[in-house]
Amino acid sequence: VTVRAGGERTILHVDMDAFYVSVELRRRPELRGRPVVVGGSGRRGVVAAASYEARRFGIHSALPSAIAKRRCPHAVFLDGDHAHYGDVSRQVHEILHRYTPLIEPLALDEAFLDVSGARVLHGDGRTIAGKLRDDILRELSLTCSVGVAPNKFVAKLASVEAKPTADRDGVHPGLGIVVVDPGREREFVHPLPVERLWGVGPVTLEKLHGIGIRRVADLAEIDILALRASLGDRQADHLRALADGIDDRPVESDRAVKSIGHEETFSHDLFDADDIHRELVRLADAVATRLRRNALGARTVTLKARYSDFATMTRSVTVDEPVASAADLLALVDPLAAHLDRSRGVRLLGISGSKLGPPYRQLQFDDLLAETADDPSDALDSVRRRFGHDSIKPASLLRRRVEGTP
């Protein structure tokens, strides 16, 4: 977190163009110019990314694959290769690091950069955006769009304006870079439809339409009390600030991960307890592997299940000491799973760990015994060496304590 006394910030939002698809096309150049879809090949899949040629047919991310195939039967559907996308993402980040250490990754394919302190060395925001686009294209054969603005939110909207577009008429190249100068934020955001604001999804949009708000300018003008009554104080105040082009959130380069989880939708619903247990074993193993890779343990473990009617439920337990092994995760999750209503059919199961911390275990007396030879007195000596002579003594030497005191 940096605090700059006075002076405008210069924030870049870098967004790779159709990232997964573009990475695949580097490996399979024969598919260039064709509608290509990554993900969504499974029976219950959805689209993860679509080439601009595929977008001409109304295919977009999160679209159920069954619908995507209906809209464009001749599209090429590829399974995703997330490990590879992760590698390429790291290469992109190495390039970004040449210009500033203040990088906040949002996803594999996009990041915020605070280049306020890099202007002397590398030039203004537009210049830096041009340089890193050139670097990424030359070194990785990938294109990206960049928004430049005094804050994160406007920079993100600007990068959308910089992107290529696709409609029935064809694919239209984008500007590549869009700069919103300080003082022009309101002018830039006011004409946009309100659903372009970060945090306005289908539910909030419905509420906003209900009180007559369709453009960002409407949001900036409406009585704040009416807005609060509709959305709640916190969200109302937040959206109003955005509508005024105000966003003070810093670029956070060192955000700690808060949860690690795995979930899976099955090709066919599960009704059998053994089947469910088997899947939980797999999920627990996957979560445990990633916890340990990150040198973390979880104090809270959450079981997620989605029934065939798409109703979702979660149940969690919190324990005193972080767990990081598949066996420990499973021991916590299995009792939760016993309460599932299997007769409804389970289409998805997930396990996630939160309240993360170092995976240490409270030192047990047995641990100390195990460190020493068979002679218990060795263990005594070991404890006293580590924790002091009075740290261990015969129970008979302990004074009785008044009930209720430590």
| C-alpha span between 266 and 25 (Å, rounded) | 29
| C-alpha span between 98 and 100 (Å, rounded) | 6
| C-alpha span between 316 and 337 (Å, rounded) | 10
Contacts of 222 (CB under 8 A, 6+ apart): 211, 212, 213
Write down the catalytic residue from 110, 139, 263, 279: 110
Rank residues 5 and 83 by Cβ distance to DNA and give the closer one. 83
Rank residues 266 and 379 by Cβ distance to DNA and give the closer one. 266
Q: Do the beta carbons of residue 17 and residue 144 sit within 8 Å?
A: yes
Q: Do the beta carbons of residue 242 and residue 153 sit within 8 Å?
A: yes
DSSP string of 291-329? HHHTT-EEEEEEEEEEETT--EEEEEEEEEEEE-SHHHH
Q: In 3D, which of 161, 167, 131, 114 has the Cα closest to residue 8?
A: 114
What is the nearest approach in angstroms of DNA to the Cβ of residue 193?
Answer: 12
344 near DNA, rule: CB under 7 A? no
Rank residues 258 and 401 by Cβ distance to DNA and give the closer one. 258
110 is catalytic: yes
Contacts to DNA from residues 187-226, by CB under 7 A: 197-205
**DSSP alpha helix (H) spans, 6-147:** 19-27, 52-55, 65-71, 82-96, 119-122, 125-140
Select from 26, 28, 43, 278 the one that contacts DNA (CB under 7 A): 43
Select from 87, 90, 97, 106 the one that contacts DNA (CB under 7 A): 106
Kindly indicate which of the ranges 87-95, 349-357, 370-378, 390-398 contains the residues binding DNA, using the contact rule CB under 7 A: 349-357
Rank residues 165 and 318 by Cβ distance to DNA and give the closer one. 318
What is the nearest approach in angstroms of DNA to the Cβ of residue 133?
Answer: 18
264 near DNA, rule: CB under 7 A? yes
Select from 7, 64, 335, 376 the one that contacts DNA (CB under 7 A): 64
Write the interaction track for DNA spanning residues 300-339; mark x where CB under 7 A is met and - where it is not.
Answer: x-x-------x-xxxxxxx---------------------
Sheet bearing 36-39, strands edge to edge: 47-50, 36-39, 76-78
Contacts of 126 (CB under 8 A, 6+ apart): 148, 177, 179
Point out the residues that are catalytic.
110
| Binding region for DNA (CB under 7 A) | 39, 43-46, 48, 61-62, 64, 66-67, 106-107, 109-110, 156, 197-205, 232-235, 257-265, 286, 290, 300, 302, 310, 312-318, 347-348, 350, 352, 354
